[in-house]
């Protein structure tokens, strides 16, 4: 027992040691003393220039660097500083490599000064990465104590601290700067972020709540503007939860769109429901720029699972300039768990805006999402938990309650190949049924067009309080269908508007639990987002409609 605690403490302290003394917050306030550490709170530790840089949007940052007004080194330094503050307030980092960032930024500045040429479209842009990406010079623990000092739990592979994931190589080629990797729940299989190395990641806008997971470190870091663009992954909502919970835009593309090659992962090779990576940021522009830039690297030449579909600017522009009315589905309630008042209001607001723009809304009444959730969970536990229990066993560290909620405390029997195949067939049948429902919506509206996108909650709440993430069904159907989804920030919880509905009659026990978990005072101030769900590989078509 002592061993894993010591190893975790050492790793935790090693991060603190990498924060320059002048950036240390002497006595960070506890969450109940200072719920919201964003905005003015965090700004008190920053210079005016640092605030100006870190609160600029990605296109502005790039323009300033590319036109010579800002140095890449100053931009990198500002984000390093703010990330260091963010970590002290939310435990959002697993790896800190500010030195490497500043070194790389200097090199870019020198190159630009000497040649007048940019390395690429992302020249000088700091990008934060979830701790599944391998970056040279640092390790990847994915929140496991047993992975410290190893390559994905193995020692002596020769890849330790030298191997880089495909996307990292591509972003580097595009000119990006890396400076930190962000925290995750061990196993990645939770909508909250907790592990035995860095502890719990609270929501910076309201630290009584979760920052979400599994890309929760990204969510918190971005929420505090310690990053302007981050990359997360999503197998059951893990990009979208922290995006929504922290007031961000977040994209979960279909699988085969962006390169996952060379990433650390849980249950690697489980290919019934695939994890995908996606950008998280403060604007659609940043999300678009990321996607367009990565596709310009032709990732299909370096990742066997990526399909060759280049960025189609013309499709993007035609959608943007499209004045034709479209049809949107609205999923207000999935019939399993009702959403809490702030989410209900956010959905209504988006629906109202869409309607006011002249689009048609229809009620989204698809094949049961309960079946989708069953399929997703079926995929997550095909190996009975073997992969994750092996990783825990490396150090004998305990599993968090959040993860135990899905996997239990002991491995279960593995599925057989026949059972894996049967699940794949069931999933395909569900996908087929769902797509035909989608097709059929052209008969349900006057425009006689099928729905372009579905406006849906991403969770029943703005964000859960710790250990209260009981229902994933609003997220997982997207993963089972392999649809694309983009989260957009909509509003904030307001205790005066979003009052507890004490007359609500729950549909079942999880619904009851979720209903009772809402407390207007506790939730006050938390961001609320919703998702727009599009068909497979189709996100570009509507990425920007909402602006």
Chain residues in the site for a copy of itself (CB under 8 A): 256, 261, 267-272, 300-305, 307-309, 382-384, 386-387, 414-425, 428, 431-432, 435-436, 439, 481-482, 536-538
Is the N-terminal amide bond of 214 cis, ω within 30° of 0? yes
User: How far apart, in whole angstroms, are the C-alpha atoms of residue 308 and residue 322?
Assistant: 26
**Which residue's CB is nearer to a copy of itself, number 128 or number 187?**
187
CA separation (Å) from 332 to 3, 17, 147, 500?
Answer: 49, 47, 42, 17
Provide the CB-side half-sphere exposure for 64 (13 A, CA): 18
> Least distance from C-beta 436 to a copy of itself, angstroms?
7
Active-site hit among 130, 205, 288, 427 = 130
Active-site hit among 214, 215, 395, 485 = 214
**Which residue's CB is nearer to a copy of itself, number 280 or number 423?**
423
- 329 annotated to bind ligand: no
- 120 annotated to bind ligand: no
Helix axes 369-380, 417-440, angle to 10 degrees: 150
> Least distance from C-beta 396 to a copy of itself, angstroms?
21
- 229 annotated to bind ligand: no
Q: How far is CA 260 from the centre of its chain?
A: 14
> Least distance from C-beta 134 to a copy of itself, angstroms?
14
> Least distance from C-beta 277 to a copy of itself, angstroms?
15
Residue 196 CB: number of other CB atoms within 10 A?
A: 23
Q: How far is CA 315 from the centre of its chain?
A: 25
CA separation (Å) from 149 to 3, 111, 132, 140?
Answer: 14, 34, 15, 9
Contacting residues for 390 by C-beta, under 8 A, at least 6 apart: 153
Query: In 3-state terms, what secondary structure has residue 86?
Result: helix
- 108 annotated to bind ligand: no
**Which residue's CB is nearer to a copy of itself, number 34 or number 419?**
419
Task: Reply yes or no on whether 214 is catalytic.
Answer: yes
Task: Reply yes or no on whether 355 is catalytic.
Answer: no
> Least distance from C-beta 328 to a copy of itself, angstroms?
18
Q: Is 483 exposed, middle or buried (0-12, 13-18, 19+ CB in 10 A)?
A: buried
- 238 annotated to bind ligand: yes
CA separation (Å) from 397 to 1, 2, 5, 153, 274?
Answer: 7, 9, 8, 14, 27
**Which residue's CB is nearer to a copy of itself, number 384 or number 466?**
384
> Least distance from C-beta 431 to a copy of itself, angstroms?
3
**Which residue's CB is nearer to a copy of itself, number 298 or number 522?**
298
> Least distance from C-beta 389 to a copy of itself, angstroms?
11
Residue 318 in contact with residue 312, Cβ under 8 Å? no
Provide the CB-side half-sphere exposure for 449 (13 A, CA): 13
Measured at the CA of 425, the angle between CA 422 and CA 428, to 5 degrees, comes to 150
| Residue of 212, 24, 224 whose CA lies nearest to 128 | 224
Contacting residues for 344 by C-beta, under 8 A, at least 6 apart: 332
| Residue of 500, 490, 436, 428 whose CA lies nearest to 458 | 490
Secondary structure letter of residue 22 according to DSSP: G
Terminal CA-to-CA distance of the chain, rounded, Å? 52
Active-site hit among 128, 210, 227, 238 = 238
**Which residue's CB is nearer to a copy of itself, number 417 or number 505?**
417
> Least distance from C-beta 186 to a copy of itself, angstroms?
19
| Residue of 326, 348, 338, 287 whose CA lies nearest to 460 | 338
- 214 annotated to bind ligand: yes
**Which residue's CB is nearer to a copy of itself, number 305 or number 520?**
305
Polymer length of the chain: 547
**Which residue's CB is nearer to a copy of itself, number 91 or number 272?**
272
Catalytic residues: 130, 214, 238
Residues marked as binding for substrate? 188, 214, 235-238
């Amino acid at each position: 027992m002592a061993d894993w605690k010591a190893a975790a403490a050492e790793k935790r302290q090693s991060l603190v040691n990498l924060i320059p003394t002048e950036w240390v917050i002497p006595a960070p306030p506890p969450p109940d003393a200072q719920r919201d550490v964003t905005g003015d709170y965090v700004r008190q530790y920053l210079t005016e220039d640092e605030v100006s840089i870190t609160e600029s949007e990605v296109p502005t940052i790039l323009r300033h660097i590319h036109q010579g007004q800002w140095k890449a080194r100053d931009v990198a330094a500002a984000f390093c500083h703010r990330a260091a503050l963010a970590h002290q307030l939310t435990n959002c980092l697993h790896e800190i490599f500010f030195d490497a960032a500043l070194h790389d930024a200097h090199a870019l500045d020198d190159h630009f000064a000497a040649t007048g040429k940019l390395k690429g479209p992302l020249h000088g842009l700091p990008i934060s990465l979830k701790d599944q990406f391998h970056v040279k010079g640092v390790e990847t623990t994915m929140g496991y104590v047993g992975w410290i000092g190893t390559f994905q739990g193995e020692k002596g592979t020769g890849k330790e601290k030298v191997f880089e994931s495909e996307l990292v190589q591509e972003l580097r080629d595009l000119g990006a700067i890396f400076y930190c990797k962000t925290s995750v729940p061990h196993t990645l299989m939770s909508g909250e972020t907790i592990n035995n190395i860095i502890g719990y990641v609270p929501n910076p806008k309201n630290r009584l709540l979760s920052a979400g997971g599994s890309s929760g470190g990204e969510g918190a870091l971005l929420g505090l503007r310690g990053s302007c663009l981050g990359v997360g992954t999503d197998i059951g909502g893990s990009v979208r939860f922290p995006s929504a919970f922290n007031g961000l835009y977040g994209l979960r593309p279909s699988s085969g769109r962006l390169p996952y090659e060379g990433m650390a992962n849980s249950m690697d090779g489980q290919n019934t429901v695939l994890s995908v990576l996606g950008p998280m940021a403060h604007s659609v522009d940043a999300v678009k720029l990321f996607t367009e830039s990565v596709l310009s690297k032709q990732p299909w030449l370096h990742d066997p699972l990526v399909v060759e579909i280049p960025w189609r600017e013309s499709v993007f522009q035609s959608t943007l300039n499209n004045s034709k009315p479209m049809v949107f589905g609205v999923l207000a309630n999935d019939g399993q768990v009702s959403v809490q008042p702030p989410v209900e209001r956010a959905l209504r607001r988006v629906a109202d805006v869409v309607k006011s723009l002249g689009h048609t809304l229809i009620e989204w009444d698809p094949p049961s999402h309960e079946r989708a959730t069953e399929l997703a969970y079926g995929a997550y536990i095909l190996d009975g938990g073997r992969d994750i229990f092996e990783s825990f066993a490396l150090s004998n560290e305990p599993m968090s309650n959040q993860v135990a909620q899905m996997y239990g405390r002991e491995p279960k029997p593995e599925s057989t190949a026949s059972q894996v195949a049967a699940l794949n067939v069931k999933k395909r049948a569900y996908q087929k049924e769902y797509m035909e429902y989608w097709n059929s919506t052209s008969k349900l509206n006057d425009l006689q067009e099928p729905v372009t996108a579905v406006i849906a909650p991403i969770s029943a709440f703005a964000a859960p309080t710790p250990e209260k993430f009981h229902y994933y069904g609003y997220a997982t159907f997207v993963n089972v269908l392999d649809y694309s989804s983009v989260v957009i920030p909509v509003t904030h919880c307001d205790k005066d508007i979003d009052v507890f509905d004490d007359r609500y009659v729950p549909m079942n026990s999880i619904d009851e639990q979720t209903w009772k978990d809402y407390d207007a005072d506790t939730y006050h101030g938390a961001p609320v987002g919703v998702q727009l769900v599009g068909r497979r590989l189709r996100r570009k078509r509507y990425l920007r409609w909402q602006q």
